Structure 1
Amino acid sequence: MRGALFLVGLILAGLIALGHLDWLDPIILILNNIRVHLSALLGLVALLLIMGRAVRRGTVLLGCAVLALVLDYRDIAPSSRGMATAEPNLKVIAFNMLGSNMENGPAIADYLLQTDADLVLLNESAPVVPLLETLRASYPFLLGCDEQGEGQCGDVLVLSRLELKAPRITRLTGASGHQTIAAQVVMEGKKLNVVSTHLLRPYFGQQQIGEFIALRGLLEGLEGTTLVAGDFNAAAWFGPFTELLDATGLTRAAFEPGTWPVVMGNFGAPIDHVLVSGDAAFTSLSAMPDHFGSNHRGLVAEIALKPEAS
């Protein structure tokens, strides 16, 4: 039994090592996304070995697990920020609803109407597209559909209580069926860039990396405080994701709820993100109270924007 456990531990250690490689192979990218979970599992195997009196082997594996987690912390620490104590003046919801989740569209719309969010950034928009006219009662400004909501809608939608200025809708690469939407809002005299995006999954390999590069280019072309949210299909420690944050100055909350798969709750992978830069700071970040049939958990962020000096 101890021999089998040790073999499992060696396999996990090998997978973790592969996940730390800077390769663009889809399998390596997938391992990169789950390496923290693999490290936690390796730590559990190590403890079982120690409890089973295989102390030396267990200690070696436990050391490997701790080292891997330390390296992951090193990667995420530069972009992590604690919660600010300021009074929030912006509330944001970011939610991948799952495009085939049509039966839960009315429940999602009801939730959005009852919340006091200023901005709602949606991925896989199909469930609420039939209900856009109802949603306009609370969110009169919309981006992501032809002819301001009267025509066909794309994968990404932005609903807002605030006027959306200088709108731009693009695709990061030709391979993606997903939109990226950029616009500006003004709150208390402060201009805020708003970007809603949905990136390809890691098994697209080089194509997903191309989207990170294109998103970096878009963000580097923006001036001032910026908010970015969406389904990045990338965990907080994923190499291309941390490189994006380092290059653009975007920051993330020190603790991000797990968003996928929903069954794992906060222990899932945080692949959906709300990010800020400049004078914006998080005052809270939590998962939505219900996933409404989606395979992702939505995020609710409260943010403090420093007003422009008069």
Structure 2
Amino acid sequence: MRDTVYCVLCVLLTLMLGVLAARYVSDTWMLAFFESLQTHIALACTGGAVLALIVRRHWYAGALLIASLLLACHSIVMLREHAASPVSADAQPSFRLLSFNIDNDNFENGARIADLIVGSKADVVEIFEASPVLSEMSRISVVYPYRIGCGVMTEDCDSLLLSKRPLLKPDMRDLSVLWRNRFILATIDMDGQPVAFASAHLSKPYFDDFHKGELYYLGDILQSVQQPLLLAGDFNASVIEPDMRRFLRRSGLTHLFPEPSTWPIRAGPLGISIDHVFARPPLQLISVRRIEDAMGSNHYGLLTEFTVAK
């Protein structure tokens, strides 16, 4: 019986580790879901390998333990690869961004989410799948009179950018043929400093190569931005995804480490970070924190404090 349990454990661990290790020899969208979960799966495999060693002390279980630890450690290295150190909380001037995928089917919580937006004290708000707040737009507009989305520059209400200050050179585009109007770019004068705010909602990375193509196109757009840049969005992928790593390397964007986990909400802090806030110097991130009440969405929202170095 002991040998059977040991054999089953080793076979399962070998298969899981083989899937994780495949990223090092192949870049295919079929691995995307597992790549974002590399830390979680590798740590689970570490526990499984320890269990296998308890069942039977054998060199193969030891090799699986080493492989699991190496994959877990490398995932941490990749999570930190494009991370910048946060600046002091006392840095001035400081501004606030609220970003939140509220879920297009979350109509019963539209009023609560509108309360969050109005009371957030954010300078800029970026909402994804914004239909639930369309009926609340009149009172939201009292605090945020300038917007793109939900009837402005588009008839639909999906991606939405709200601002207390006028929007300069507003732009709204498709990132691919899958979804319309899921990229927004606008320059806003933040107390004399022009700042480019970008909003992006990407397709899931296991939908063929659309995610990779959207990131490449997004990188092309952002390369032409000369102002300090803040990009927030639902990327449906962790920063350790190969196409995400290429995008960050190419665009010069950074994030804070560790990023708050935003999905799935049932996992809480043990989830993964697929909603991101990226900055490009001289814009610097002070903090990025999770809004603990998901308000019926399947994502947690993020509240970001940032400054622009002079």
Range into which the TM-score falls when normalised by the shorter chain: over 0.9
1:275 to 273, 278, 295: 278
After superposition, the Cα gap between the structure-2 partners of 1:94 and 1:147, relative to the gap in structure 1 and judged at 3 Å, is closer
1:54 to 31, 53, 57: 57
Matched, 1:236 2:236: no
Matched, 1:3 2:17: no
After superposition, the Cα gap between the structure-2 partners of 1:21 and 1:125, relative to the gap in structure 1 and judged at 3 Å, is farther
Distance 1:22 1:186 in 2: 44
Distance 2:62 2:197 in 1: 48
Answer yes or no: is the 8 Å Cα contact 1:36–1:69 preserved in 2: yes
Q: Deviations over 1:50-94 (max 9, x none)?
A: 344536344322211121123323433331112211426111111
Ranges in structure 1 where 5+ consecutive residues have no aligned partner: none
The 10-residue stretch of structure 1 (171-180 or 126-135) with the greater mean CA deviation from structure 2: 171-180
Distance 2:118 2:26 in 1: 44
The size of the alignment, in residue pairs, is: 304
Distance 2:151 2:142 in 1: 19
**Aligned counterpart, 1:110:** 115
Which structure 2 residues correspond to residues 185-196 of structure 1 after superposition, within 5 A?
Answer: 185-196=188-199
After superposition, the Cα gap between the structure-2 partners of 1:43 and 1:171, relative to the gap in structure 1 and judged at 3 Å, is same
Question: Quick one: which amino acid aligns to residue 191 of structure 2?
Answer: E
Question: Quick one: which amino acid aligns to residue 139 of structure 1?
Answer: Y
TM-score, length-normalised on structure 2?
A: 0.92
Matched, 1:69 2:60: no
Shift of 1:200: 0.6
Q: Name the SS of the counterpart of 1:95 in structure 2.
A: strand
Answer yes or no: is the 8 Å Cα contact 1:251–1:276 preserved in 2: yes
Answer yes or no: is the 8 Å Cα contact 1:145–1:153 preserved in 2: yes
Shift of 1:179: 1.7
Shift of 1:18: 2.3
1:138 to 134, 143, 147: 143
**Aligned counterpart, 2:85:** 82
Question: Quick one: which amino acid aligns to residue 59 of structure 1?
Answer: G
**Aligned counterpart, 1:226:** 229
Answer yes or no: is the 8 Å Cα contact 2:228–2:283 preserved in 1: yes
**Aligned counterpart, 1:210:** 213
Q: Name the SS of the counterpart of 1:286 in structure 2.
A: strand
Q: Name the SS of the counterpart of 1:79 in structure 2.
A: coil
Q: CA RMSD in A?
A: 1.8
Which structure 2 residues correspond to residues 143-154 of structure 1 after superposition, within 5 A?
Answer: 143-147=148-152, 152-154=155-157
TM-score, length-normalised on structure 1?
A: 0.92
After superposition, the Cα gap between the structure-2 partners of 1:97 and 1:20, relative to the gap in structure 1 and judged at 3 Å, is farther
Distance 2:181 2:267 in 1: 26
Which structure 2 residues correspond to residues 6-21 of structure 1 after superposition, within 5 A?
Answer: 6-21=10-25
Identity of aligned residues (%): 27
Which structure 2 residues correspond to residues 162-173 of structure 1 after superposition, within 5 A?
Answer: 162-173=165-176
Q: Name the SS of the counterpart of 1:145 in structure 2.
A: coil
Matched, 1:301 2:308: no
Distance 2:237 2:181 in 1: 15
Q: Name the SS of the counterpart of 2:281 in structure 1.
A: coil
Q: Name the SS of the counterpart of 2:287 in structure 1.
A: strand
Answer yes or no: is the 8 Å Cα contact 2:167–2:188 preserved in 1: yes
Matched, 1:258 2:261: yes
**Aligned counterpart, 1:121:** 126
Shift of 1:206: 1.3
Q: Deviations over 1:149-187 (max 9, x none)?
A: xx7333210011222111000011223235200000122
Distance 2:202 2:274 in 1: 10
The 10-residue stretch of structure 1 (15-24 or 237-246) with the greater mean CA deviation from structure 2: 15-24
Answer yes or no: is the 8 Å Cα contact 2:39–2:76 preserved in 1: no
**Aligned counterpart, 1:177:** 180
Answer yes or no: is the 8 Å Cα contact 1:194–1:228 preserved in 2: yes
Answer yes or no: is the 8 Å Cα contact 1:29–1:205 preserved in 2: no
Matched, 1:34 2:22: no
